[in-house]
Structure 1
Amino acid sequence: MKTLSRAVLLAAAVSLGLAGCSAPEKAEPARPVSNLEVRAESDATAEVQRHADDIADIIETPLEKPQVRPISCRPEAGKTTELGYSVQGVYQLGLERVSDPVGTLEVIKMFWKELDYQVPIDKTVGSRRTMRALTPDGYTVDLQTNFPKALRVTVYSACFSRPAPGPSSS
């Protein structure tokens, strides 16, 4: 009986010893965690376009030279992270056919205030005027004039996280 007990103890000890010597499982690399709202880039791009279209509709002039692209999150958005993205849209509106460009900008400012946009920047230096609106949904709309010729419209989306990629089909 002693021999059987020793054999069982020896087997248990060897078993435990081998378990402790086994190769550790490969750990998954830590994935960064983001607390940003998840939004598809196409949805953020559509919202940027909508904000620019609002300005074009008020001025009754088509948007020209659109340049829309994803960028890193901006410090002005309150979030700087490698995990997120923002969408930037840059457009130009011709003002040659606008009879009262200064009055039109006042109409835009009233439109923004009706929509509860904050307007933290509204300044004029010489013949240039700069206005900035912050929307309730985290977008920024910048207007810069170059009277009497053009209005530059720059729209930045809020900072978002991209959705996780779906399963790929093979």
Structure 2
Amino acid sequence: MSIRSSASLPPPRRGEPLQRLLFGGVYGSVLASALVAALGHDGHPSDPGYDALWVALTAVASAASHGYAHAIAHRTDDAAAVTTSAVRSMLTEWPLVVAALPTVAALSGAYLHWWSEEAAVDAALLINLVALFGWGLWAARVAGRTWPASCRVGGVDAMVGLFIVFANVVVK
């Protein structure tokens, strides 16, 4: 069993934490939008508590599987390092989970009878649409784009959210 020295590890990329934050934010917002849009009860009574838990667990599972896939893709000969890197990689996917929390919160509010589940779904889709615009705007500004160009990037990201909203209307 060998212990890898820090000299053998590649140097961390400077923008990587911000890239993970932006990636996780966009991915989590799209995932949460798709999940909440897919909620359907087919004649059964709605259960917003179950739905909130389903969205939260799916976000956690998605983050873990994405992190694990990164670790597998960068597999080394040292099994201990792979296990450590897999856990570390899965934990760095926290922005994806955090981005899904507004949807979980909206559904939890419906569970607490603060509003209907339909209102929670509409609110979650709107929140995620605005978040997608913000993630795109922020990413473009970080990349050095002008405000007008950044707004266009944010608009393109928001169009993904609009597509999900449109699909939700058509399917239901």
TM-score scaled by length of structure 2: 0.30
Q: Which of the pair is proportionally richer in helix?
A: 2
TM-score scaled by length of structure 1: 0.30
Q: Which of the pair is proportionally richer in strand?
A: 1
